[in-house]
Structure 1
Amino acid sequence: MTIYIAFLRGINVGGKKIIKMEKLKDIFKSLYFQNVKTYIQSGNVIFDSTEESADILYKIETELENVLGYKVTSIIRTADELEEIIKQNPFSASEDVEKQYVTFLHREPTVEAGDRLMSYKNDVDDFCVTHREVFLLCGKGYGKTKFSNHFLESKLDVLATTRNWKTVNKILNMIRN
């Protein structure tokens, strides 16, 4: 069995796409995933499966739309991938964890899209694109950065969802302990 994490985009944000975590767990259990756990209300689901990521992604998105009546973009990573993402954080030396975020991308962006994003570098925020993640260091906090989830999606032309660094680490701790 492989441990997976589903990062759901836009769940319980701004009073939209409201779903209780118990109902979300039940949906995942109905898909025959094992050891289903959620972390906070923003759509982070940890589970075990013997299936491949692409099959899991299709099943999750289809079932969520069937049950909830709206599309929920889901991004899947394995526990090993999440551990590697944490190791790759180019901002890990920064003492200000509150300003660190990672945006999980649905797929790797094109080189042209990455180059387009680089043209937005500035003195306040820093970022680094690595494969299917964008690491962010938001100088004035995420609420004031230009590099919002929507901005990154539009510039990279790829679906995405963003989590703060504490959440990412907490999820890995839940898996490993």
Structure 2
Amino acid sequence: MTSKRYIALLRGVNVGRAKRIAMADLRKLVADLGYGDVRSVLNSGNLVFSGPARPYDTVGTEIEDTLVLKLGVAARVLVLDAGELDGIIGGNPLLEQAHDHARLLTFIVSRPEHRQSIAALCALDWGPGAVALGERAAYVWCPDGILDSAAAAALGKQLGDATTSRNWSTLLKLQTLCAEGAG
């Protein structure tokens, strides 16, 4: 059976007072589902783990269902593999202008039809920031800060719970963890 390195991104976990989950509990929950080398990044629902090759929706739904049953927390889980994460990172056209990785936001696009729904937003002038669309992600440069970014707010509103976002620094940390476990 082929093993894969997965990344699970939980939407809205440990933001404010809602959906509080200890990362140790989350790692144990995913390990108890039969996945190995489960690692978390930061305290905001970012996991890297290994397991048999399965459809991402199946893995995500399994984690979502178990979160509710075991921890009483409902959160959308977007799953991708290490190759897709590498593609998202390699496909960012905003890196030359986005010098502060904490202000470079990446919205993971879960379905092809979502790309179409945000293409018009990418064509707008968001100066001094910028928006660009990749194959599996929308990138938002927020030079004045993420909370003050009209572009980030518009993308979040357009995509709703069909996406989750992470800053560039977090994605790079996830990529490093994937590479460490690939051996």
Does the TM-score normalized on the shorter chain lie above 0.5? yes
* 1:109 paired residue among 113, 122, 137: 113
What is the alpha-carbon distance in structure 1 between the residues aligned to residue 122 and residue 68 of structure 2?
A: 35
How much has 1:55 moved relative to structure 2? 1.7
Distance 2:170 2:101 in 1: 11
Superposition misfits of 4+ residues, deviation over 4 angstroms: none
Which whole-Å deviations, capped at 9, do the CAs of 1:69-89 have from their partners, x for residues lacking one? 232111111011111111101
CA-CA distance at 1:91 after TM superposition? 1.3
Residue aligned with 2:117, SS: helix
Partner of 2:48: 46
Gaps of 5+ in 2: none
Q: May I ask how many residue pairs the two structures share in their alignment?
A: 176
Residue aligned with 1:147, SS: helix
In the aligned structure 2, how far is the partner of 1:159 from the partner of 1:124? 27
TM-score, scaled relative to structure 2: 0.87
Write out aligned runs for 1:59-98 (5 A).
59-94=62-97, 95-98=99-102
Report the Cα offset of residue 38 of structure 1: 0.5
Question: Cα distance 1:30–1:154, how it changes in 2: closer, same or farther (>3 A)?
Answer: same
Q: How many Å separate the matches in 2 of 1:43 and 1:88?
A: 23
Counterpart secondary structure, 2:6: strand
Would you say the 8 A contact 1:127–1:134 is kept in 2?
yes
2: CA distance between counterparts of 1:49 and 1:145? 37
Is the 8 Å Cα contact of residues 117 and 155 (structure 1) preserved in structure 2?
no
Whole-Å Cα distance in 1 between the matches of residues 130 and 156 of structure 2? 17
Code of the residue aligned with 1:56 in structure 2: it is: V
Structure 1 distance, partners of 2:115, 2:13, is: 30
Which deviates the most, 16-25 or 104-113? 104-113
Distance 2:91 2:150 in 1: 23
Task: Give the 3-state SS of the residue equivalent to 1:143 in structure 2.
Answer: coil
Distance of 1:11 and 1:142 partners within structure 2: 18
- Deviation of the 1:124 alpha carbon: 2.5
* Displacement of 1:13: 0.3
Percent identical among aligned pairs is: 26
TM-align CA RMSD: 1.9
* Runs of 5+ unmatched residues, structure 1: none
Contact 1:37–1:45, Cα closer than 8 Å, also in 2: yes
